Every structure is written in structure tokens, then in C-alpha cells.
């Protein structure tokens, strides 16, 4: 069993190397098959490990070699496959395989086809390294790997200035969070004498409360950057600049879930830091509400889904912050399915619209894109929590755990879920209902995507429908997923009565159905089609401009740094550094001009200098 573990990350790495080095010489069909086949093979091996762990929950550790052995610090390169990591591996490779299949059709005409698949493979390799590593250092390597790959993929069409800027923004903002993660790992090494999970978690209680609180807070700073929480969230909506399969990969199954995984993986530390958990819960709640409000005012179909991702990640952090780690992982799983479906569905719409992404210029597309419409509707029902779709069950469990912890927090979380209903139904209605509002050229171009793109949509639609069965409400006693993770996370005591849980479910379901029906009717009215930005007023203007957070960051951080850079360039670079270099060059030049006076080419001058030199030598010898 241990022999197949290294193959799971190595196969995508091989796909990256082959497609990256010789992919341009191979046909696109071979490149697509190789890139997809490596991920699919990793998925099959992961299924094998998953089945093995169902029978025996004991973790499987595969140590490859010792990398560092300095003083008390002993660092191994190895993999830890337990029920948590193998579940993440299933989601990463499973959804990743579907996104690769979809990309074969979506990117078929792109000149950088081989490069795109090489980057996708490297992305999946990095994410697998992150979740499979048996220590914090390997997690950090994978963490930085997905950061690099996000830069490459978001800026894939780098000839467009806005896309290149979005890639740089994602890279820089993630570095801010990564510094916190790195400092946290340094503190773990200092106080526990190891960075291996087994050592650190077994000795978690040996450090004092203040130290554990600081370590967990620093780790959460890293999670805030990667999982786009306030204040490090603005990079994620801008990441929509990349091709749509990249958006699905980043937002659904891989990069943005890394922060959730980190908190759940380090739950042994977080359980000892209740203050940090409280910070996580309230930051997650603030992020969820704020992103949902912004989502109400966005007119780019991918931007709506981007802010939806930020909001949903906030809900997962709220669950983790109240100690419901299993509920956070359950919603992470269902979210991976329906958000990948929604992004790929949006890509199908954009493909039909000949690149158009503006909701104001869509409408009535259900007539031309039947498969895309129905699968997109499944994803919409799942995310807003309509029974029996997956989001209904994962949100119900999440809300119930939050209610047990803090009823006020539950009410605010429910409000965020209500906002989700409005902006998602708004997007769905403006896209697929009413009359088509695009150009005549777009109307002629409208057509359903090929099977290679719609097949992943259909598979994800089914998963968005049935994955809620993994964890039915507590009163049914059919909570398979909770039992599956119990050996790692423990089973939280369930103190809620059946009647209370049914009431909470009823409230959430009523809000979803009632608001959903109202939004569907409301946005079918042609008068409710969003106006141009110049005509926006009040809340619509604030939400449309994202509450001017980007402009504020630009004024507070970017412009002062740019001004300081220009000043330093003028004073230090130009005056000091260039002055020294240019001064030395000028000095050498002047010396050269002076020495040239002795090279006249006249024999008489040379004879005179020779005699003068001999006289000086004789005088020197006589005197000394």
C-alpha cells in the first residue's frame, strides 16, 4: 500500500514535465489525454487508499528520506495518508479530473494549450503535496507551489495588462499571509522541537496558552491569505482574469480550501486556543456577510461567483471557529461540487456568448443552452440550500452547530445565506430568463457547448444533488461523514433536540424558497436589468464598486509605496548608486586621457622619457 502513495503526486508532476518540455511538439489530443490521464490515475489510486482506510482507520505514513538533521530539528520528506488527507485527495483529484476534461474543449483553440495543461498538472501536484505532507514544511512547500501556479494560471493571457496585474496582485497578497504561516511554523519548531504533525499534535498542550494562541493566530493569517478572508480577500475576485477552468480549479477544489484544511489539520492546537477560534469565527462571519453584499451588485457572471466563493469560505471558517471542524469539511466537499459546476457552467455560457461575461447583455439563454441551463440550475439550487440538493444538508448542519454555539452568530449567518439566495437567483435569472439582450452577432453564435464540456457539468450536477447524503441531519442518525472523520476529529456531543433542529431547518428552507421565488419573479422584470455603472446610485453604486475597498487599499498601501519607490529611485538609485558607478567610470576615463599624453608616437619623446627614467633611478640609488 505504501508503494502507491508517492505515485499519487508524482503522476501529475510527470504530466507537468512532459507537457511543459515537449508538449508543443505533440498534438493537442495527446497533450489533453496525458494531462487528464495523470490526474485520473491519481484519482484511482486515491480511491484505492480511501477504501483501505475505510476498513482500517489507522493512518499510513510513507517516509521517503531525511532531508534535514540539524541539532534537535529532524525534518523528513514523507507523506501522511489518513482519513482527512485522503478525503481532500479525493476532492482534489476527482474534481480536478473533471476540470481537465472540460479544459480540453474550452482551451482547444488556444495557442498555449500544452502550457496550460502543464500548469494545471503542476497546480494539482502542489495541492496534493500540501495535503499529503506529514509535516508543516511540506505543507508550506505545497502552499507556495499553489501560489506560484495561481500566478501562472491567472496571468495565463499575460499580454493583456489587466490579467497580468491580477496575477501579480494574487501573488503579492498571498505573500502577506504566507509570512504569517512561516512565522507560525518557526514558532512550532522552536517550542515543540519538531514540525512533524505526529510530534507537534501529541505534545500540543506542553506550550503555554499565550504561545499556542500566537501560533494558531499566525497560522490563521496564512489561512486568511490563501482562503481570501478579510482583509486579504481582494485578490480572489480579480483572479477571474484567468481562463474559466482556472477559476473552477482555484475556487472549488484546490487553492482556496487550503486554509480550511490547515485549520482542521491543526485542530489539536486550535482546541487549546479558544480566543483564536473566536477570532476565526467572527472574521469568517464578517467576510461572509461583506462578500455577499458585494455579490448583489456585480454584473460580471464570474465576479458574482467569485464573491460567492469568498462568502462560502467565510461560512466554513465560522463553522471551524465554533469547533465544528467536520461540518466545515462537509460544506467544503459539497461546495467543491456545486461551485465547480457553477464556474464551468459560467464558462459554457461565456463560450456561447463569444467571450461575453456581462449579465446585462445575456438573457433567455435557456432556449439555446439546455444542458448548461439545467446543470447550472442544479448548482444554483445546491448553493442556496434547496432540498434535496447537497447545500441544503451541509448548510443545515453548519447552521445547527453555529446555533448551539451562539444564536446571534446563527442569525447573522442565516442572513448571509439569505443574501446568497438573492444574488444567485439574480444571476441565474438574468442569464437564462427574459429576452436576449446581446448583439445580433452573439445571437447567431449562441449554441450548446460540446460533449467534452457538458459531460463534466452533468457529473457535477449529479454530485451536487446526491453528496448531501454523506451527512443527513443528526436526528436521522445517518451521519456517515461525521463518523468517518470521528477517529481524527472526535465526535462532538449533539445537544440539540429534534424539534429545535427541525425548526431551524424549516426556517432556512423557507428563507431559501421564499427569497428565491421572489428574486426569480423580481429579476424577470425588464426594468430590473442592471443599468450602466454611470447611472448607479446608493447601495447599488457601493456594491458595484465593491465598497471601494480596492481603491482604499490603493490609496493606503500601493500609492505611498510607489511614491516612496520613485523618491528612492531619484535620490538613492540615480544620485548615489549611479553617481558612484558613473564617477568611477569618469575617473578611469580621465586617467586614460592623461596617460594617453605619454603615447605620442614620437621617438624623440620616448628617448627623453627613457633617459629621464634612468636618471631618476640613479638618483634614487645614490640617495638611498
In a domain, 281, yes or no: no
Residues 381, 424 within the same domain: yes
Residues 522, 562 within the same domain: no
List CB contacts of 222: < 8 A, sequence separation 6 or more.
143, 177, 178, 180, 181, 182, 184, 259, 262
158 phi and psi angles, rounded to 5 deg: -70, -10
Residue 62, beta-bridge partner list: 79
The residue whose grid cell reads 501573488 is: 171
In a domain, 199, yes or no: no
Per-residue pLDDT, 527: 79
Per-residue pLDDT, 621: 82
Residues 333, 390 within the same domain: yes
**Per-residue CA distances from 326 to 404, 481, 494 (Å):** 15, 8, 13
State the virtual CA torsion across 273, 276, 277, 280 in degrees, nearest 10: -160
**Run means of pLDDT, 10 residues per run, the chain, 624 residues:** 88 95 90 95 95 88 84 84 94 95 91 93 95 94 92 88 88 91 94 91 90 96 93 89 86 83 94 95 96 93 93 95 93 94 94 89 91 96 94 93 93 95 95 89 88 95 95 86 88 75 92 94 84 72 86 89 88 87 90 77 79 86 78
Residues 450, 590 within the same domain: no
In a domain, 220, yes or no: no
Give the end of a domain, one of 484, 507, 533: 533
Retrieve residue 331's grid coordinates: 460544506
Give the end of a domain, one of 498, 533, 568: 533
Range 588-612 burial, b when 16+ CB lie within 10 A, else e: eeeeeeeeeeeeeeeeeeeeeeeee
Residues 372, 426 within the same domain: yes
In a domain, 538, yes or no: no
In a domain, 311, yes or no: yes
In a domain, 108, yes or no: yes
The CA distance from 505 to 499, in Å, is 10
76 phi and psi angles, rounded to 5 deg: -110, 150
- Asked if residue 475 has a cis previous peptide bond (ω within 30° of 0), the answer is no
Give the end of a domain, one of 533, 565, 580: 533
The sign one gets for the Cα dihedral 530, 531, 536, 542 is positive
The CA distance from 362 to 314, in Å, is 30
Per-residue pLDDT, 511: 94
Q: Pick the closest to residue 319 from 231, 259, 233, 379 (CA basis).
A: 259
Residues 603, 527 within the same domain: no
Per-residue pLDDT, 534: 63
Cβ burial, residue 487 (10 Å; 0-12/13-18/19+) = middle
In a domain, 578, yes or no: yes
Residues 520, 453 within the same domain: yes
Residues 65, 155 within the same domain: yes
The separation between the first and the last C-alpha atoms of the chain, rounded to the nearest angstrom, is 89
In a domain, 277, yes or no: no
Residues 458, 556 within the same domain: no
Residues 164, 309 within the same domain: no
Residues 518, 413 within the same domain: yes
pTM score: 0.90
The CA distance from 403 to 411, in Å, is 8
- Enclosing domain of residue 564: 551-623
List CB contacts of 445: < 8 A, sequence separation 6 or more.
352, 353, 354
Per-residue pLDDT, 104: 94
The CA distance from 341 to 329, in Å, is 18
List CB contacts of 69: < 8 A, sequence separation 6 or more.
75
Domain count, the chain: 3
Residues 316, 346 within the same domain: yes
Amino acid at each position: 500500500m505504501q508503494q502507491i502513495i508517492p505515485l499519487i503526486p508524482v503522476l501529475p508532476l510527470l504530466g507537468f514535465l512532459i507537457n511543459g518540455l515537449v508538449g508543443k511538439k505533440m498534438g493537442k489530443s495527446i497533450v489533453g489525454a496525458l494531462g487528464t490521464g495523470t490526474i485520473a490515475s491519481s484519482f484511482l489510486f486515491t480511491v484505492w487508499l480511501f477504501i483501505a482506510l475505510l476498513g482500517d482507520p489507522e493512518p499510513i505514513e510513507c517516509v521517503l528520506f531525511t532531508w534535514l538533521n540539524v541539532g534537535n530539528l529532524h525534518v523528513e520528506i514523507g507523506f501522511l495518508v489518513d482519513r482527512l488527507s485522503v478525503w481532500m485527495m479525493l476532492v482534489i483529484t476527482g474534481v480536478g479530473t473533471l476540470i481537465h476534461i472540460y479544459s480540453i474543449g474550452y482551451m482547444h483553440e488556444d495557442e498555449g494549450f500544452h502550457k496550460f495543461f502543464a500548469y494545471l498538472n503542476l497546480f494539482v501536484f502542489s495541492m496534493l503535496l500540501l495535503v499529503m505532507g506529514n509535516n508543516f514544511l511540506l505543507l508550506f512547500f505545497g502552499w507556495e507551489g499553489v501560489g506560484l501556479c495561481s500566478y501562472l494560471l491567472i496571468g495565463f493571457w499575460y499580454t493583456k495588462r489587466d490579467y497580468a496585474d491580477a496575477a501579480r496582485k494574487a501573488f503579492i497578497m498571498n505573500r502577506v499571509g504566507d509570512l504569517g504561516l512561516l512565522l507560525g511554523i518557526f514558532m512550532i519548531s522552536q517550542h515543540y522541537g519538531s514540525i512533524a504533525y505526529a510530534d507537534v499534535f501529541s505534545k500540543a498542550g506542553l506550550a503555554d496558552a499565550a504561545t499556542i494562541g500566537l501560533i494558531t493566530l499566525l497560522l490563521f493569517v496564512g489561512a486568511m491569505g490563501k482562503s481570501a478572508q478579510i482583509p486579504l480577500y481582494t485578490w480572489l475576485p480579480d483572479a477571474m482574469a484567468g481562463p474559466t477552468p482556472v477559476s473552477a480549479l482555484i475556487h472549488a477544489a484546490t487553492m482556496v480550501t487550503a486554509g480550511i484544511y490547515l485549520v482542521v489539520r491543526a485542530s489539536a492546537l486550535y482546541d487549546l486556543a479558544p480566543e483564536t477560534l473566536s477570532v476565526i469565527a467572527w472574521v469568517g462571519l464578517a467576510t461572509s456577510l461583506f462578500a455577499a453584499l458585494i455579490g448583489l451588485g456585480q454584473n460580471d457572471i464570474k465576479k458574482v461567483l467569485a464573491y460567492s466563493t469568498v462568502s462560502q469560505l467565510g461560512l466554513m471558517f465560522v463553522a471551524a471557529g465554533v469547533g465544528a471542524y467536520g461540518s466545515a469539511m462537509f460544506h467544503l466537499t459539497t461546495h467543491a461540487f456545486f461551485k465547480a459546476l457553477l464556474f464551468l457552467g459560467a464558462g459554457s455560457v461565456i463560450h456561447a456568448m463569444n467571450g461575453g461575461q456581462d449579465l446585462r447583455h445575456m438573457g433567455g439563454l435557456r432556449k439555446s443552452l439546455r444542458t448548461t441551463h439545467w446543470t447550472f440550475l442544479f448548482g444554483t439550487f445546491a448553493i442556496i440550500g434547496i432540498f434535496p440538493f447537497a447545500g441544503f444538508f451541509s448548510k443545515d448542519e453548519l447552521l445547527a452547530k453555529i446555533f448551539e454555539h451562539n444564536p446571534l452568530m446563527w442569525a447573522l449567518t442565516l442572513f448571509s445565506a439569505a443574501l446568497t439566495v438573492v444574488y444567485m437567483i439574480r444571476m441565474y435569472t438574468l442569464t437564462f430568463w427574459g429576452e436576449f439582450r446581446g448583439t445580433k452577432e452573439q445571437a447567431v453564435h449562441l449554441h450548446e457547448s460540446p460533449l467534452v464540456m457538458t459531460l463534466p457539468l452533468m457529473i457535477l450536477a449529479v454530485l451536487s444533488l446526491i453528496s448531501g447524503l454523506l451527512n443527513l441531519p443528526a436526528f436521522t442518525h445517518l451521519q456517515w461523514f461525521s463518523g468517518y472523520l470521528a477517529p481524527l476529529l472526535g465526535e462532538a456531543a449533539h445537544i440539540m433536540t429534534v424539534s429545535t433542529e427541525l425548526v431551524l431547518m424549516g426556517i432556512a428552507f423557507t428563507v431559501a424558497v421564499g427569497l428565491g421565488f421572489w428574486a426569480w419573479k423580481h429579476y424577470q422584470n425588464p426594468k430590473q436589468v442592471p443599468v450602466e455603472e454611470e447611472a448607479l446610485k446608493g447601495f447599488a453604486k457601493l456594491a458595484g464598486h465593491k465598497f471601494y475597498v480596492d481603491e482604499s487599499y490603493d490609496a493606503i498601501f500601493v500609492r505611498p509605496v510607489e511614491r516612496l519607490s520613485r523618491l528612492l529611485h531619484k535620490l538613492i538609485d540615480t544620485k548615489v548608486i549611479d553617481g558612484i558607478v558613473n564617477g568611477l567610470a569618469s575617473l578611469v576615463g580621465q586617467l586614460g586621457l592623461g596617460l594617453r599624453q605619454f603615447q605620442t608616437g614620437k621617438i624623440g619623446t620616448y628617448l627623453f622619457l627613457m633617459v629621464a627614467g634612468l636618471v631618476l633611478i640613479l638618483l634614487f640609488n645614490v640617495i638611498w
